[in-house]
Amino acid sequence: MGEFVRLEVDAGVGTIRLDRPPVNALNNQVQAELAEAAKEAAERDDVRAVILYGGEKTFAGGADIKEMAAKSYVEMQRFGTALSESLTLIAELPKPTVAAITGYALGGGLELALTADRRVAGDNVKVGQPEIQLGIIPGAGGTQRLARLVGPSRAKDIVFTGRFVKAEEALAIGLVDEVVAPDEVYAAAHRWASQFVNGPAVALRAAKIAIDAGLDMDLRNGLKLETQLFTGLWATEDQKRGMQSFIENGPGKATFEGK
């Protein structure tokens, strides 16, 4: 368990919890601890879905600007690469993930939220990529994951202006998927995550890989990947359980072991 990032597990749901007051700024240590939490969540069989959470006040206010400003070019190359790799570990978690966004998700904070499969936000949140106001650009997914999520034109507007996007607009453009009252954010994220606790873990992993990796391929190769993953599930116990349950009891009644 890290000083600023910890993995909390309860009834099959893991929460990667940022806790670096006042705004969960992403510094060297937070970056390293995020990577360790992601690795642990990926490896633990008792973690079937993951929530990214920064607490009741704010998700993450961005990178630690004071620390970044003092870095040399070489030091920043190392940090930027390490941060991007840490967030990629979270994006590639082989389990459903959801970001529970409170307060602000700015700069690196929004880039962290973009790694999740789903984003739940409070109706008072503000998100954005304000790096341009510092004379730089997003460096850990803000130009890539954001454009893939909301389209290049909207991503350029958000990145070029550095403006804050409020919850209503974020929902309308698909930047977040659900907006709730501020004190309901974690509970709503938990409801979404908990539905996968007793699900077919191998099939869920395959579905995530098929969608995410397929988007980086042309359609023909994406379809080939899908076929490989689809047929490979006939080697799982859950496929046998699911189909036998369907034959005997109808749809939606199978119990899975995640094997």
Express each pLDDT in 134-176 by its tens digit. 999 999 999 999 999 999 999 999 999 999 999 999 999 999 9
Residue 111: predicted pLDDT: 97
Instruction: Kindly list the distances between the CA atom of residue 130 and the CA atoms of 38, 108, 118, in Å, as whole numbers in the listed order.
Output: 26, 10, 22
Rounded CA-CA distance 220/236 in Å is 26
Strands in 143-244 per DSSP E: 165-166, 178-180
Close Cβ partners of 222 (under 8 Å, ≥ 6 residues apart)? 210, 213, 214, 215
Residue 126: predicted pLDDT: 97
**In this prediction, what percent of the chain has a pLDDT beyond 70?**
100
CATH numbers and ranges of domains, the chain: 5-194 (3.90.226.10), 201-249 (1.10.12.10)
Centroid of chain to Cα 33: 16
Residue 170: predicted pLDDT: 98
Rounded CA-CA distance 61/103 in Å is 9
Tell me what the mean pLDDT of segment 77-84 comes to: 91
Q: Is 169 in the active site?
A: no
Q: How many CA atoms lie within 13 A of 87 on its CB side?
A: 26
Residue 64: predicted pLDDT: 83
Rounded CA-CA distance 52/232 in Å is 30
Query: Is 51:16 a contact under the CB 8 Å cutoff?
Result: yes
Query: Is 137:156 a contact under the CB 8 Å cutoff?
Result: no
DSSP string of 55-89, one letter each residue:
-SS-SB--B-HHHHHT--HHHHHHHHHHHHHHHHH
Which is catalytic among the residues 3, 111, 169, 184? Answer: 111
The number of beta carbons lying within 10 Å of the beta carbon of residue 133 is: 12
Residue 150: predicted pLDDT: 97
The number of beta carbons lying within 10 Å of the beta carbon of residue 226 is: 17
Nearest by Cα to 176 from 238, 116, 257: 116
What is the tens place of the pLDDT at every residue in 214-228? 999 999 999 999 999
Tell me if residue 14 falls in helix, strand or coil. strand
Asked if the bond preceding 251 is cis, omega within 30° of 0, the reply is no
If you search the block for the tokens 């550095």, which residue do you land on? 162
**In this prediction, what percent of the chain has a pLDDT beyond 90?**
88
Q: Does the pLDDT at position 193 exceed 90?
A: yes
Which is catalytic among the residues 131, 184, 237, 257? Answer: 131
Q: Is 111 in the active site?
A: yes
Residue 57: predicted pLDDT: 95
Tell me what the mean pLDDT of segment 77-94 comes to: 94
What is the tens place of the pLDDT at every residue in 3-57? 999 999 999 999 999 999 999 999 999 999 999 999 999 999 999 999 999 999 9
pTM assigned to the model:
0.94
If you search the block for the tokens 């630690």, which residue do you land on? 64
Tokens of 199: 């699900």
